Amino acid sequence: MKTIFITITRGMVARNILRAGVLDLLAQNKELEIVILIPKIKGKNIPDYFFKEFARENVKIELVENKKMGKIERGFNYFISKLIFTKSTRLYMRFHIKEERRIGQLGYFLYCLIYWPLSKLKFLKKIIRFFDYSFFPGIIYAPYFEKYQPDLLFSTCIMSQLDIAFLKQAKKRGVKTISMPRSWDNLDKFFFRVEPDLFLTQNERMKKTAQKVQAINENKVKVVGFPQFDLYADNFAIIPKADYCQRKNFDQNLPILFLGSEGAWSKGDDKIFESIIMAREKGNLPQCNILIRPHYSECDKHSYRELFKDYKNVYIDEDYRKSDFFNDRWDPSKNDMKDFASSLFYCSLMITFASTLALDAVCFDKPVIGVRYGVKFINGQDRTDLMYETCHYEWVLETKAVSLVDDGEKLIAKINQYLQNPQYKARERKELKEKLCYKVDGKSSERITETILSII
């Protein structure tokens, strides 16, 4: 009997790993014992539904204390975090969504002076990881290793405090480690304090970034794809259109516009969405259904429901399961995942900001409009364009698959263009899908599982 630890720190990760297929595939092997490790983040116990859904004969769920870093480790972490000094990190330093976290010109100059050259030294990152492991070995989680004697740790969010501590304790004990980032936009933002035995990425660009920016050895990086995209290859996961439209009070004979919020990163997007609704009401857009999806991190803070309650064929898509247990405040069920996939399948086009929704949309060859105005203001100037200048989103824009619009008139014109000619930019969407979505073949979970089984 072999024992595998799997860390789950967010609802997003529970969706990607536990519900998308990895857990089911591993649990089929009765020679494996799987222990799911979940931090007690908000003083809450694990919900009953979580046990009912995932616990089984060879799957245990362990709630572990979410230990805070001490002052010395926090200071150490702060200084080494800037070893990833990319265009993305520089943008966050200067134009963070929280004004109090922005730094002035002098501070920015000093950071550049110190960290720009240091960030280029791969050997320094290796040395820092050695000292990190030596001085902060994650000893607080040693009892779990004593209790279960794991053969492998699968860390599903390499930047989380829990994952870092478990990875270091696993390394200390000679336990094999596999890790991956929780999302495709994390590699150019944060310094990974531990180099696992094997690092999984969702696409080839991430693999190159892991090697170049994070100084992870090439032979330790493997591309597996997005496990949450596996559902997109399953035709049986799509809800029949009549049922889907009935649930949302849509007219199934009309096109569907998917309006995707970026939450705190697109404050004021309700005005953008309202302008689209008003264009429809005035006849500047054809009659259509409008689906507004709030960002999961702000599912209880938005004003869409009150603003748009009197409009016909407008649906606020907030029915996914909320969570007061995970930090990201949601824990989507399998039915929620199917509903989201169906929204992508039936929509005529995606209208969003610098969002991962662009990748979701091109998996179904849906046109994407990127709104580049009206939601981010700095010193009285509209700087929404900054959202699109991060390293990872430049990968998207390189393909020209996303049509960027800089004012309301262009937005309405572009919507009409796509409704009349949905094949516009189909070649570019195919390129984006191939370059950043990897293989949308329903087998990413299989590739992850096979990788785990190959080294345990």
- Cα–Cα dist 78/74, whole Å: 6
Query: What is the pTM assigned to this prediction?
Result: 0.94
pLDDT digits (tens, 9 = 90+) for 47-69: 999 999 999 999 999 999 988 88
Phi and psi at residue 39, in whole multiples of 5°?
Answer: -75, 145
- Write down the residue that tokens 């990413």 correspond to: 444
- For residue 277, is pLDDT > 90? yes
Arithmetic mean of pLDDT, 143-171: 97
β-pairing, 221-223 with 256-260? unpaired
Residues β-bridged to residue 378? 381
pLDDT, residue 101, reads 67
- For residue 76, is pLDDT > 90? yes
Structure tokens at 115: 């960290």
% of the chain at pLDDT higher than 70 = 98
pLDDT, residue 103, reads 79
Arithmetic mean of pLDDT, 423-430: 98
pLDDT, residue 379, reads 83
3-state secondary structure the chain: CEEEEEECCCHHHHHHHHHCCHHHHHHCCCCEEEEEEEEECCCCCCCHHHHHHHCECCEEEEEEECCCCCHHHHHHHHHHHCCCCCHHHHHHHHHCCCHHHCCCHHHHHHHHHHHHHHCCCHHHHHHHHHHHHHHCCCHHHHHHHHHHCCCEEEECCCCCHHHHHHHHHHHHHCCEEEECCCCCCCCCCCCCCCCCCEEEECCHHHHHHHHHCCCCCHHHEEECCCHHHHHHHCHHHCCCHHHHHHHCCCCCCCCEEEEECCHHHHCCHHHHHHHHHHHHHCCCCCCCEEEEECCHHHCCCCCHHHHHCCCCCEEECCCCCECCCCCCCECCCHHHHHHHHHHHHHCCEEEECCCCHHHHHHCCCCCEEEECCCCCEECCEECHHHHHHCHHHHHHHHCCCEEEECCHHHHHHHHHHHHHCCCCCHHHHHHHHHHHCCCCCCCHHHHHHHHHHHHC
pLDDT, residue 413, reads 99
- For residue 38, is pLDDT > 70? yes
pLDDT, residue 120, reads 93
- Cα–Cα dist 118/176, whole Å: 30
Arithmetic mean of pLDDT, 262-286: 94
Q: How confident is the model at residue 406 (pLDDT cuts 50, 70, 90)?
A: very high
N residues, the chain: 456
More confident of the two residues 197 and 100: 197
- Write down the residue that tokens 């280029």 correspond to: 120
Tell me the HSE value of 428 on the side-chain side, using a 13 A CA sphere.
17
Tell me the HSE value of 97 on the side-chain side, using a 13 A CA sphere.
11
pLDDT, residue 249, reads 96
Tell me what the pLDDT averaged over the chain comes to: 94
pLDDT, residue 163, reads 97
More confident of the two residues 212 and 91: 212
Cα of 90 vs its chain's centroid, Å: 20
pLDDT, residue 14, reads 98
Structure tokens at 294: 């709030």
pLDDT, residue 352, reads 98
pLDDT digits (tens, 9 = 90+) for 77-125: 999 998 999 999 888 877 766 666 677 788 888 888 999 999 999 999 9
Least confident span in 139-143, 264-268, 427-431: 264-268
β-pairing, 377-378 with 381-382? antiparallel
- For residue 42, is pLDDT > 80? no
Q: From 258, 366, 240, 357, select the one nearest 317 (Cα to Cα).
A: 258
What sign does the dihedral 237-242-246-248 (CA atoms) show? positive
% of the chain at pLDDT higher than 90 = 81
Structure tokens at 149: 């004697």
CB 172 within 8 A of CB 146: no
Going along the chain from its start, the domains and CATH numbers come out as: 2-69+122-226+443-455 (3.40.50.2000), 231-436 (3.40.50.2000)
- Cα–Cα dist 293/127, whole Å: 44
Q: How confident is the model at residue 207 (pLDDT cuts 50, 70, 90)?
A: very high
Q: How confident is the model at residue 429 (pLDDT cuts 50, 70, 90)?
A: very high
pLDDT digits (tens, 9 = 90+) for 375-398: 988 888 999 999 999 999 999 999
